[in-house]
Amino acid sequence: MTEPAQRRRRRGTAEEGADPVPGEEVLTVRDLRVAFGKGPGRKQALRGVDLSLHAGKVSGVAGESGSGKTTSALAAMGLLPAGASVEGSVRYRGTELLSLPERELRRYRGRHLAMVFQETSTALNPVIRVGTQLLMAARTHAGGSRQEALRRVTEALADVQLTDTDRVMSSYPHELSGGMCQRIIIAMALSCGSRVLFADEPTTALDVSVQAEVLSVIKGLVARRHLAVLMISHDLAVLAEVCDDLAVMYDGEIVESGAVDDVLRHPAHPYTAGLLECLPRLRGPRVELPELASTVRDADHGTGCRFRPRCPWSIERCEQAPELAALDLGSSRQARCWRSAEVLASSGAAAGSRGQR
Ligand SMILES: Nc1ncnc2c1ncn2[C@@H]1O[C@H](COP(=O)(O)OP(=O)(O)OP(=O)(O)O)[C@@H](O)[C@H]1O
Ligand SMILES: [Mg+2]
**pLDDT band at residue 300 under the 50/70/90 scheme:** low
CB 39 within 8 A of CB 210: no
Give the pLDDT of residue 340. Answer: 94
One-letter amino acid for residue 244 of the chain: D
Is residue 66 within 6 Å of ligand 1 at its C-beta? yes
Give the pLDDT of residue 15. Answer: 52
292 or 342: whose pLDDT is higher?
342
Report the chain's C-alpha Rg in angstroms.
21
CB 190 within 8 A of CB 151: no
Give the pLDDT of residue 85. Answer: 96
- % the chain with pLDDT above 90: 68
Give the pLDDT of residue 5. Answer: 47
Give the pLDDT of residue 143. Answer: 85
CB 159 within 8 A of CB 189: no
Residue nearest to atom 27 of ligand 1 (CA): 65
Residue nearest to atom 26 of ligand 1 (CA): 65
d(CA 196, CA 227): 6
Task: Evaluate if residue 13 carries a pLDDT over 80.
Answer: no
* Number of H-type helices and E-type strands within the chain: 13, 12
**pLDDT band at residue 4 under the 50/70/90 scheme:** very low
Task: Evaluate if residue 329 carries a pLDDT over 80.
Answer: no
In this prediction, residues 232-257 reach a mean pLDDT of 96
Using DSSP's 3-state secondary structure scheme, residue 162 falls into: coil
pLDDT in tens, 194-210: 999 999 999 888 888 88
225 or 347: whose pLDDT is higher?
225
| Test site for ligand 1: of 33, 51, 71, most ligand atoms within 8 A of the Cβ | 71
The DSSP symbol for 318 reads: G
CB 76 within 8 A of CB 180: no
Backbone angles phi, psi at 330, to 5 degrees: 70, 20
State in Å: Cα 11 to ligand 2 middle: 33
Strand 84-92 with 95-96, pairing: antiparallel
Ligand 1, residue 64: give the atom nearest the CA. Answer: 25
Q: How far is CA 51 from the centre of its chain?
A: 9
**pLDDT band at residue 350 under the 50/70/90 scheme:** low
Q: Where are the beta strands (DSSP E) in the chain?
A: 25-36, 43-54, 57-62, 84-92, 95-96, 113-116, 196-200, 228-232, 245-250, 253-259, 325-326, 334-335
C-alpha distances (whole Å) from 148 to each of 77, 93, 185, 189 are 27, 26, 19, 16
d(CA 302, CA 66): 19
Tell me which of 86-90, 146-150, 318-322, 330-334 is least confident. Answer: 330-334
**pLDDT band at residue 8 under the 50/70/90 scheme:** very low
Q: How far is CA 278 from the centre of its chain?
A: 22
Q: Please tell me the number of the ligand nearest to residue 252's CA.
A: 1
Task: Evaluate if residue 10 carries a pLDDT over 70.
Answer: no
Among 161-170, 272-281, 346-355, name the most confident range.
161-170
CB 237 within 8 A of CB 215: no
Tell me which of 13-22, 137-146, 198-207 is least confident. Answer: 13-22
pTM listed for this prediction: 0.89
Give the pLDDT of residue 277. Answer: 86
One-letter amino acid for residue 70 of the chain: T
CB 13 within 8 A of CB 95: yes
State in Å: Cα 232 to ligand 1 middle: 13
In this prediction, residues 252-268 reach a mean pLDDT of 96
Among residues 309, 348, 299, 307, the alpha carbon closest in space to that of 324 is found at 307
Neighbour tally for 331: CB within 10 Å? 12
Among residues 337, 341, 346, the alpha carbon closest in space to that of 315 is found at 337
Give the pLDDT of residue 68. Answer: 97
State in Å: Cα 261 to ligand 1 middle: 27
Give CA angle at 321 (316, 325), nearest 5°: 110
C-alpha distances (whole Å) from 176 to each of 21, 119, 124, 204 are 35, 14, 11, 17
Is residue 118 within 6 Å of ligand 1 at its C-beta? no
Tell me which of 111-125, 130-144, 309-323 is least confident. Answer: 111-125
Instruction: Work out the mean pLDDT of the chain and round it to a whole number.
Output: 87
Task: Evaluate if residue 297 carries a pLDDT over 70.
Answer: no
Among residues 230, 235, 258, 234, the alpha carbon closest in space to that of 246 is found at 258
d(CA 210, CA 113): 25
**Exposure of 195 by Cβ count < 10 A (0-12 exposed, 13-18 middle, 19+ buried)?**
buried
Give the pLDDT of residue 37. Answer: 92
Residue nearest to atom 2 of ligand 1 (CA): 36
| Test site for ligand 1: of 36, 86, 275, most ligand atoms within 8 A of the Cβ | 36
d(CA 139, CA 229): 23
DSSP string, 233-286: -S-HHHHHHH-SEEEEEETTEEEEEEEHHHHHHS--SHHHHHHHHTS--SSSS-
**pLDDT band at residue 90 under the 50/70/90 scheme:** very high
